[in-house]
Amino acid sequence: MIRVENLWYTYDGDNYVLRDVSLEIGEGEIYYILGDNGSGKTTLIRHLNGLLKPSRGRVLVDGLDTRETPVSRLAEKVSIVFQNPEKMFYMPTVIEEISTTLRNFGVENPDQRAEEILREYGLSRYRDRSPFTLSGGEKRILSIAIMTGWSPRYLVLDEPTIGLDGDYRRRLQWAIDRHLSRGGSVVIVTHDMELVLEREGRVVILSDGQVVYRGYTQELIDLDPGQLGRYGLVKPTYARSTSYMKTSGVIKDYHGYCGVFAEVAGVLDNV
């Protein structure tokens, strides 16, 4: 479990970008961190593997205090995939990029495992290409492939859907589902409400460095679009229709939008 306890953080010693943030990320759960630009989302996740140390409060990863534990040890447990994948690439080929990271974490048979990862993520045809020559979507999928290779317990994705088209979006979904099915936890920082509403999970909304909303994805459906808009979030059209269907009694509850369609189909069947 990751416990963030009364976390305060300042870069310059004067202005706090995180103010009294507390949250708990349990095992096997999906946790969404939402909020507008500059609300402190990325600063918060940089605390999860010890890249930043709290100015006040503390962060515990499976009982390890991030202030006292080296990043290399925390990174084994908490894998963060940052927004710009290019910043992590430095090897001449895609396969070496994956195997180097596996070696860093002491994975057995890194070369063989790297080949498997390439196949799993559908990147085999790019095996010997420079990662810098891949398209935006391919780079993002490669970065996720790299950062899940050693099976970390917590996978943190910073704005994972930016620049992803249909096929790569499906591969991202597959990677999230697989990580969850193996008992890992996923933390997603995003503005993409469609991604948020695809799975049931816990949500916090940050604004100006503070937690202004806590709840579950299903409850976001009932939130006023104006309220979400204040935090830089846009409610998708189907979520607005779902909200309407719920208040008018067509459907009883929200269980992901696939569930909604199934329920509507059931209602229409009865009609």
Partner 1 sequence: MYRIGLEAFRFEERDAPLYRLDPRAKLLVAFIYMILTILANSQAIQLLITALLLATLLLLGRLGRKLVKNLVTLAPLMTLVFLANYLVSGDLMASLLPTQKLLNLVMSLNTFFLTTNPDDFAITLEKMGMPLTITLAFSLSLRFIHVLARVLTEIVEAQLSRGHKLDSGGLTTRIRNYTAILIPLIIISVRKSISVAETLELRGFREGARHTPFTTMKIGFWDVAYIIVSISIATALLIYGGEIENILLEILTRYLEDMAI
Binding mask 170-209 for partner 1 (x = CB under 8 A): ----------------------------------------
Token digits of residue 128? 């010997």
Residue 15 sits in the site that holds partner 1 (CB under 8 A) = no
How far is 128 from 207, CA to CA, in rounded Å? Answer: 43
To the nearest whole angstrom, how small is the minimum distance from the Cβ of residue 17 to partner 1? 15
Residue 135 sits in the site that holds partner 1 (CB under 8 A) = no
Residue 166 sits in the site that holds partner 1 (CB under 8 A) = no
Number of residues that bind partner 1 (CB under 8 A): 24
Token digits of residue 47? 């605390």
Residue 69 sits in the site that holds partner 1 (CB under 8 A) = no
What's the distance, CA 212 to chain centroid?
A: 19
SS3 226: helix
How far is 242 from 222, CA to CA, in rounded Å? Answer: 9
Q: In this chain, which of 3, 46, 56, 127 binds partner 1, going by CB under 8 A? A: 46
Contact, 82 vs 90, CB < 8 A? Answer: no
Q: How many CB atoms lie within 10 A of CB 127?
A: 15
Residue 76 sits in the site that holds partner 1 (CB under 8 A) = yes
Q: In this chain, which of 10, 55, 104, 241 binds partner 1, going by CB under 8 A? A: 104
Length of the chain: 271
Q: How many CB atoms lie within 10 A of CB 159?
A: 19
Residue 64 sits in the site that holds partner 1 (CB under 8 A) = no
- Binding stretches for partner 1 (CB under 8 A): 13, 46, 49, 51, 71-72, 75-76, 79-80, 82, 84, 86-90, 101, 104-105, 132, 146-147, 150
